[in-house]
Amino acid sequence: MKAEPDRRPRADAARNIEHILCAAREVFARVGPDAPLDEVAKHAGVGVRTLHRHFPRKEDLVRATLDRALTPDFAHAITRANSTPNPLRALTALIEETLTLVDRERPTLAAASNPSALTSAIAEPLLDTLTELTEKAQRATLIRPDLTPHDVHRLLGMLTSVLWGMAPGDQGWRRYLVLLLDALSPTTTTPLPPASPLHPASTGAECVPAWRTGTSGTPRP
């Protein structure tokens, strides 16, 4: 007879966590990366103490929110890539899906004090798959032999940084993906997609990632 009271608090806690994570993603998108945690708690329908009990620091909340939002979709993208016979097409598709997902989660990423550190563990299976696909593409002579998997990881990082100078949902990053993919095979070129204008908000500060600015646009130290 004691099992039922023990089970109920765990179920309530799980529901509270789910509500908090959903609310955090919505609040960061609506209010911005500096949204106060009490706003998240209010949107989730829980008390601030409940939020802090599960997530003592904002960084804990951001990490859990990103994990919930990105991990399943990364897993699906990896599965699709591994089922694609052509390793270069698989590599290209995985990079495209990764950039699409990162762009989708930009509001939450912007709330992190160090997005790279937070996403490194989440992205580890993705980076492992990029390494495997790079090596397969090389064995199939589809990309240049002097490329290393770390080159591909860094190229993905470069493409990700491009997103911060564009409006959310802007597909202009595809132009730079084509440029970088052409660099992997010096014997071919591909017509470029249309170029996108610089996002008005980034004028004069194109190189300052959004996650390093506060709501006033002043770069954080």
**112-155 pLDDT, tens per residue?**
877 666 667 788 899 999 999 999 999 999 998 888 888 898 89
- Token code pair at residue 70: 């990105």
Q: How many CB atoms lie within 10 A of CB 214?
A: 11
Helix axes 149-163, 173-184, angle to 10 degrees: 160
Q: Can you tell me the distance from the alpha carbon of 113 to that of 132, in angstroms, rounded to the nearest whole number?
A: 31
Q: Do the beta carbons of residue 142 and residue 185 sit within 8 Å?
A: yes
Higher pLDDT, 196 or 173: 173
Q: Can you tell me the distance from the alpha carbon of 208 to that of 196, in angstroms, rounded to the nearest whole number?
A: 18
Place of tokens 């609310």: 23
Alpha helices in the chain (DSSP H): 3-30, 37-44, 48-54, 58-82, 87-104, 106-110, 115-139, 149-163, 173-184
Q: How many CB atoms lie within 10 A of CB 148?
A: 12
The yes-or-no verdict on residue 205 having pLDDT over 50 is no
What predicted TM-score, i.e. pTM, was given to this entire model? Answer: 0.78
Higher pLDDT, 73 or 197: 73
Using alpha carbons, list the distances in angstroms from residue 153 to 20, 41, 129, 143, 182: 32, 36, 11, 15, 16
For residue 215, give every residue at least 6 positions away whose Cβ sits within 8 Å of its Cβ, in sequence order, or none. 32, 33, 34
What pLDDT shows up at residue 208?
Answer: 34
Helix (H, G, I), strand (E, B) or coil at 219: strand
The yes-or-no verdict on residue 104 having pLDDT over 80 is yes
* pLDDT, mean of residues 67-92: 95
How high does pLDDT run on average in the chain? 83
> What confidence tens digit (pLDDT) does each residue in 8-38 have?
558 888 999 999 999 999 999 999 999 999 9
